[in-house]
């Protein structure tokens, strides 16, 4: 059953939290002025609140209470069953709430260090995702190659790109028959947006598109604005968060943040989104609380990034000049760590949703 509220024409584009972990504190400053309303749907990726371990039904109820337009179920474990009747029922429930579901999973590259054979071979895994997407009414099947470890491996990222293209070609008929676009993400530092475009075009744009991840862009030394501009013509899904980037002793540090708490130019980012892909939902994937250093001042750092152009890198450096050091997340020793993580993740997501609605003018619900 197809979701009647789909935002994605081809290439165009409650659960009470207080009852579990207490109400999320919203510290984000917002403007008193009413923002100009966009046509951009707003949603979130369930990975944003992974510590809660909620299943798909509970996540849908929460999404309804948050008045969002879409939700990305970015892993297959979120479902109580992969049977068609169960997935169809979820699709019906989402339609009642006015929420579009996008289906997703993890890595589908067999040579990646992060590949897991839980669902069989890479081809079997991807075919399963396509079937789940069709049954739940999603015209998107989000997945990714791997992680930064693949870029740093012997032979570099290109060998894994080649493997991924081969896997994709073996499921072309499945995707086209199901009416599902495979949405490859620039994930955890594996692919620069230009490399992702090359992969998509080699596999075939008739059935492969992109998932834009603004946070992961900074892990490939890329300004998220460039990532958006490059991937927008291919984009069918998204995972969005802000980033703080600042200069460090060995190069630069990156810490992902809630929306509005980093140094990404989010107002320009939103304006460009509205111009380039206004029907594409901006789905928040808030991951916060830790910094990663990139030793760009050391010669041995550069071989895995040798294809990054000077022009692209200069815009990333400009971003780092806007940033400032921020502390990592730390929970009180008196608090249960799991509950602290749950509260923190809810807080980061909810203040990000509030910022997007009140400052950026996102959401059509």
Q: How many domains does the chain have?
A: 1
Residue 21 lies in a domain: no
Give the tens place of pLDDT for each residue, 312-335. 999 999 999 999 999 999 887 777
Given this model, what pLDDT does residue 15 score? 35
Residue 2 lies in a domain: no
Residue 15 lies in a domain: no
- CA proximity to 47, closest of 142, 181, 148, 128: 142
Where does the chain show beta strands of DSSP type E?
42-45, 70-73, 100-107, 140-144, 181-185, 208-213, 235-239, 242-247, 252-257, 282-284, 291-294
Q: Could you tell me the residue range of the domain that residue 235 belongs to? A: 32-358
In angstroms, the CA 148 to CA 152 distance is 6
Backbone angles phi, psi at 270, to 5 degrees: -70, -40
Q: Is residue 79 left, alpha or beta, with left meaning phi > 0 and alpha meaning psi from -120 to 50?
A: beta
In angstroms, the CA 3 to CA 99 distance is 9
Give the tens place of pLDDT for each residue, 163-174. 999 999 999 999
In angstroms, the CA 104 to CA 73 distance is 6
Residue 299 lies in a domain: yes
In angstroms, the CA 34 to CA 36 distance is 7
Residue 141 near residue 125 (C-beta atoms within 8 A): no
Residue 1 lies in a domain: no
In angstroms, the CA 239 to CA 280 distance is 11
The percent of the chain in helix, strand and coil, each rounded to the nearest 5, is 45, 15, 40
In angstroms, the CA 294 to CA 352 distance is 26
Q: Is the pLDDT of residue 9 over 70?
A: no
Residue 79 lies in a domain: yes
Tokens of 240: 């969005």
Give the tens place of pLDDT for each residue, 58-107. 999 999 999 999 999 999 999 999 999 999 999 999 999 999 999 999 99
Q: CA torsion 62→68→73→79, rounded to 10°?
A: 40
Beta bridge partners of 212: 238
Given this model, what pLDDT does residue 14 score? 35
**pTM score, whole prediction:** 0.91
In angstroms, the CA 162 to CA 274 distance is 33
C-alpha distances out from residue 345 to 30, 90, 188, 195, Å: 20, 24, 19, 31
Residue 231 near residue 309 (C-beta atoms within 8 A): no
Residue 20 lies in a domain: no
Helices (H) and strands (E) in the chain, counts: 13, 11
CATH code (residue 98): 3.20.20.150
Tokens of 199: 């992969």
Residue 105 near residue 122 (C-beta atoms within 8 A): no
Residue 124 lies in a domain: yes
Give the tens place of pLDDT for each residue, 11-40. 444 333 333 333 333 334 444 567 789 999
């Amino acid at each position: 059953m197809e979701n009647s509220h789909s935002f994605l024409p081809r290439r165009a584009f409650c659960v009470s939290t207080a009852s579990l972990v207490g109400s999320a504190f919203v510290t984000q400053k917002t403007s008193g002025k009413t923002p100009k309303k966009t046509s951009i749907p707003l949603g979130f990726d369930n990975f944003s609140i992974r510590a809660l371990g909620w299943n798909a039904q509970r996540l849908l109820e929460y999404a309804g209470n948050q008045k969002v337009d879409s939700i990305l179920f970015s892993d297959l474990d979120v479902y109580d069953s992969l049977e068609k009747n169960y997935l169809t029922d979820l699709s019906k429930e989402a339609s009642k709430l006015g929420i579009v579901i996008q289906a997703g999973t993890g890595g589908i590259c067999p040579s990646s260090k992060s590949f897991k054979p839980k669902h069989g071979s890479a081809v079997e895994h991807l075919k399963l995702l396509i079937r789940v997407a069709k049954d739940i009414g999603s015209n998107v099947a989000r997945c990714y190659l791997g992680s930064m470890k693949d870029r740093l491996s012997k032979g570099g990222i290109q060998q894994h790109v080649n493997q991924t293209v081969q896997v994709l070609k073996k499921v072309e008929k499945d995707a086209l028959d199901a009416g599902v676009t495979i949405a490859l993400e620039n994930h955890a530092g594996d692919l620069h947006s230009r490399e992702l475009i090359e992969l998509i075009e080699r596999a075939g744009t008739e059935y492969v598109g992109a998932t834009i991840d603004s946070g992961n862009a900074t892990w490939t030394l890329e300004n998220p604005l460039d990532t958006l501009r490059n991937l927008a013509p291919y984009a069918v899904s998204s995972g969005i968060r802000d980033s703080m980037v600042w200069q460090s002793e060995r190069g630069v540090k990156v810490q992902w943040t809630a929306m509005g708490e980093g140094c990404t130019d989010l107002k320009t980012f939103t304006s460009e989104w509205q111009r380039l892909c206004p029907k594409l939902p901006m789905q928040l994937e808030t991951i916060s609380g830790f910094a990663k250093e990139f030793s760009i001042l050391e010669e041995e750092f550069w071989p895995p990034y040798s294809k990054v152009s000077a022009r692209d890198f200069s815009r990333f450096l400009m971003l780092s000049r806007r940033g400032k050091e921020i502390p990592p997340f730390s929970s009180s020793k008196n608090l249960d760590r799991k509950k602290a993580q749950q509260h923190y993740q809810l807080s980061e997501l909810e203040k990000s949703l509030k910022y997007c609605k009140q400052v950026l003018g996102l959401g059509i619900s």
